Structure 1
Amino acid sequence: MIGLGVGSLLGLIAAYFGRAADTIISRIVDVLLSIPGLLLSMVIVVALGFGSVNAAIAVGIASVAMFARLMRSEVLRVKALTFVESSRHLGVGSAGVLWRHVLPNSYGPVLSMTTLQFGASILWIAALSFLGYGAPPPYPEWGLLVAEGREYIASSPWLTLLPGVVIILTVLSISRVSALISQDPDGADT
């Protein structure tokens, strides 16, 4: 939700208001995109402190750039359409055009990206907890279960395999749901 909310807002501001706002926000997004998401998440967790909430915040901040870039491109596309220009000529103010026309028509692809990013977030949180950046050991996290099962891999391989299989099945299921959401009722991709 952090990545979706903050990234969408930044992309909306950058594309709709343009010029200085677009330049500043685009450079910040470029810097965020130049750093691998898992590495950025690890740096943020170290800065905030260890724990599952801080790991979730770190993963959210690491995904802001992707949502901002997608929202910016969609707003630029919708902003150039004829009905938006017609609304401006009819005297609708900038805020009215933004909230009535641009935002509703540009938010669909961003919401579709949310389901894909949700699967990636699960992988990142599992990786952070596997590396020791997640919740402390009494809390059951999938990555922590895989990390603790490594010690017993020779005698009890299911301690590592079962949490790993659950992670894989969850991410694949979310990806499948994402594919189904992006199709219209006729079965054609949108």
Structure 2
Amino acid sequence: GDSEFAAGVIERALDQDATWSDGDLALLASWVDAVPPAIIQSRPRLGLHAARLLYLQARFDQAETQLAHVDSLLQSGASGSDRQVLSAMSALYRGAIAAVRGDFQQVIALIPAALAEIPREDHRAHALGFFSLGLAHELAEQTGQAVDDYLRSSAEARGAGILFQDVHGLCAAAQLQISQGRLNLAAMTC
């Protein structure tokens, strides 16, 4: 019906980096909120987009619930040929949530393996992965590695044309450079 058609249109739009480029999360969330939950639960790719939006809105428990629905659907084999990549995306989002919660071991267990399964041309996913690794390394006081991760995140976001994520990575790197007393480098970074 109309809801299935709308879900397909929204899913295809959210698959495009340009849709995410200006960071208007309220608009994107309103699109997903307009789709009945049962339809979201039947479409793993749309479910992953919903989880990403929840993550970006700091609604981590809800994002994890959404990821559990996606994982269940993927395990049932309902997703077709891209199941491995979708499973990796779910692991990536779980790792990103672990990063903001300060669970270094979980980040290291999930994100590198997920990034290895996600196509290199998916700059948006790689940007999130490197940002989450940066946060984990920052919390583990591995500042040099964290700066490198944040800069890689920024470069990936730039490759996708996602300005808000590009700036976020640069500013996180610059903040750490400031904490190291490297003000000139921080000024050039940000």
Fold match (TM-score > 0.5): no
Normalized against structure 1, the TM-score is what?
A: 0.28
Which of the pair has the greater relative contact order for Cα pairs under 8 Å at 6+ separation?
Answer: 1
Q: Which has the larger radius of gyration?
A: 1
